[in-house]
Structure 1
Amino acid sequence: MKNIVIITLFIFTLFSCKEKKTDSIKNTLNDNVEVKLAHKTYAEISIAQGGDWVDGSRGHKEYSAGTSFKNVDELQVPSEHTDHTWFLRYEGPGWENNQIGYRLYLDWRNAIDIFGKKVDSLVLPYVGQDGFDSYHEPSPWGQDILKAGKSMGIGSFGRIVADTVVHFQSVKNTFAKIDNTDNNSSVNIRYQGWESGNESIDLNTKLTIYPQDRYTKSELTPSKEIAGICTGIVKFKEIPLIKKEEKKWAYIATYGKQTLASPPDNLGMALFYNLEDVAEQKTGVDDHLVIFKPTIKPITYYFLGAWEQEQNGIKTQEAFIQDLNTKLEALDNTNILK
């Protein structure tokens, strides 16, 4: 595995010293493993080992009797794979920095979820090692905090057809690639033969996280011009939409008690988009939507989550909006967040 050294027999602590800080966290449910990550960002995709594809109880194939997981840099997604096949650790690729983590369901749902973090360490190598959905429960590092439901979650992508978001129910081939560098980490996914309505396209996507801040940069490149390519934020009842536009860029956002934590606590979510790229912003059935104009040029936007339980996290809606406005001003002046 790139940039990862496995060291056994370690103490259950998170630690730092004045001269040098090491990003590390114990896998509390799988003893005697410590992972030290050389970079300040990290992305991975992890597949089950030691099992076989068998007929499952949900009417589709499942990966049965896998005993361990293996990280890979590239993955041709098996044709048998769909939701809840137990093949991918936490159901798809993940990416993080010391403030926040994200994951994408690499199946027909194609939603992006948020891992809220209570620590300032990189934690993804430990998530989901002990059980398929253990990360939904509170743990020392944090937990999965977003209920995506039928939506795109936060910042994922689909296509709006007849007022319905088409996810990735029909794709001929899906290929994922992980990149970890000194400057950032990214998840690259190539969807070939994605069918929506009566259209079929290829779609290349790149999701990049940086050492600083909470945002992910998303780049979508369609193989041909079609109407309706979209992104969005999951819609929750009684959580109002916040909107602001400048000359070039705009954002939509939500803030409030919209997490899976018990009881629910405050989470802010936001999408930043270039007004020149956008045909319409509207509210759909499950999402607050941003719909892009037809193009074959790369579409760039940013999304983020901000959980109040982060170390030194944003605690109020006022502080959240102030942070968004600062980023919006930077985008309007530079056209990029760095």
Structure 2
Amino acid sequence: MNSKIILGAFALTTLLACKEKQDKNVVEEIIEVEEVQPATYTEISVKKGGSWKEDTREYIDGSFVNVEEMEVPEQHTDHSWYIRYEGPGWENKQTAYRLYLDWRNAIDIFGKKVDTLVLPFVGTDGFDSYHNDAPWGQDILKAGKSMGIGGYGRFTGDTIAHFDEVKKTLVEIDNSAENSSVTIDYKGWKTGDVTTDLKSVISIFPEDRFLKAELTPSVSFDGLATGIVKFDDIPLMKETSENGDWAYIATYGVQTLAGENDKLGMAIFYKTDQAKAVEGPYDHLVVFNPSTEKQTYYINSAWDQEKDGIKTEEAFKQDLQTKLSELDNNGKLE
């Protein structure tokens, strides 16, 4: 499965090369691979063949290899150069996301200008090259001290506790015909006087720009939260569905790394009986009620440079309203 996915992502480049060589048999083979390119894709890629520099917690030398499951090394932290683009990534033809798999635990957006899979390319020509504009797109969100869009932590009333203290973190990748998902099991996540295990399952589907997030803590505690990064002069929008079961928080405006006039919309949909919207220091927050039940929410974004994408605030609001109605009627987006 993984080999076909990677071949599919590289099909266009290879096809062009083959055309130059006029190799008919190879061209036909690549076209066949391109036709079976999956609709969704997720990956995590780690370095093999190098070694840890203990005093700086950096991984030196080696090359990146995709894995289907892993335990995050104790040495790993932000900018360890160990995980390609610093965590797992999800994508479909319209959008792509990544999660910083370290103490930050924020979710970032890869804005895509093309409608083909790009993640196998990202970070292969220099660890942080994805910050630069490229034909496929680029990293467009500056998370800073926030949870990015849809990351998760614990709101303590005046700050967000991220994942500074975790005994063990396990990751599993799954690519299927229906969706692509990443399951992360955090063992012994400690914040203040609370220690819990937390299971996170984040999925992307063949169509549209959203991720589905499911969080299941092992103990009931207050403050489990997600959110959207705050930017100056970008107002918060809120809306509740007609029957009151679902709501969203959202922002729209110039809030990317891509350019002065670049527009991005971000939203989180949540169940009103599971959570409420509040303000944090760096995020517009959705804070879940204490529970050991699965907490489900959706992360949504729209970048105005997407191919055939959403170009205006009005169109973004209309899209959010359509999704809110679908949640009202079906209880899910999939």
Q: What is the TM-score when the length of structure 2 is the normalising length? A: 0.91
Contact map agreement 2:6 2:120 (CA 8 A) in 1: no
> Is 1:266 the counterpart of 2:263 in the alignment?
yes
Q: What is the TM-score when the length of structure 1 is the normalising length? A: 0.90
Provide the rounded CA distance (Å) in 2 between the counterparts of 1:310 and 1:89. Answer: 23
- Equivalent residue number for residue 286 of structure 2: 290
- The alpha carbon displacement at 1:42 in A equals 0.1
Match of 1:65 among 61, 82, 89: 61
- Equivalent residue number for residue 45 of structure 2: 46
Provide the rounded CA distance (Å) in 2 between the counterparts of 1:208 and 1:319. Answer: 25
Percent identity, aligned pairs only, is 56
- Equivalent residue number for residue 31 of structure 1: none
Provide the rounded CA distance (Å) in 2 between the counterparts of 1:211 and 1:266. Answer: 24
Matches within 5 A, 1:19-34: none
Q: Indicate the SS of the match to 2:220.
A: coil
1:13-63: CA deviations, max 9, x gaps? 8x9xxxx98786xxxxxxxxxxx873100000000122100145xxx3110
- The alpha carbon displacement at 1:333 in A equals 1.4
Match of 1:198 among 173, 188, 193: 193
Q: Which amino acid aligns with 2:190?
A: E
- Structure whose residues are more often strand by fraction: 1
- Equivalent residue number for residue 253 of structure 1: 250
Q: Which amino acid aligns with 1:282?
A: V
Q: Which amino acid aligns with 1:222?
A: P
- The alpha carbon displacement at 1:121 in A equals 0.2
Matches within 5 A, 1:1-150: 2=2, 3-4=4-5, 6=7, 10-12=14-16, 38-56=37-55, 60-66=56-62, 68-150=63-145
Q: Which amino acid aligns with 1:130?
A: D
Q: Which amino acid aligns with 1:180?
A: N
Q: Which amino acid aligns with 1:277?
A: Q
1:97-155: CA deviations, max 9, x gaps? 00000000000000000000000000100100111100000000000000000000001
Contact map agreement 2:5 2:41 (CA 8 A) in 1: no
Q: Indicate the SS of the match to 1:208.
A: strand
How many equivalent residue pairs? Answer: 317
Residue segments in structure 2 that go unaligned for 5+ positions in a row: 20-29
> Is 1:277 the counterpart of 2:278 in the alignment?
no
Q: Give the RMSD, CA atoms, in angstroms.
A: 2.0
Residue segments in structure 1 that go unaligned for 5+ positions in a row: 25-35
Q: Which segment drifts farther, 234-243 or 158-167?
A: 158-167
Where in structure 1 do 4 or more consecutive aligned residues deviate above 3 Å?
Answer: 3-9, 20-24
Provide the rounded CA distance (Å) in 1 between the counterparts of 2:320 and 2:31. Answer: 29
Contact map agreement 1:37 1:122 (CA 8 A) in 2: no
- Equivalent residue number for residue 324 of structure 2: 328
> Is 1:302 the counterpart of 2:298 in the alignment?
yes
Q: Which amino acid aligns with 1:198?
A: D
- Equivalent residue number for residue 224 of structure 2: 229
- Structure whose residues are more often helix by fraction: 2
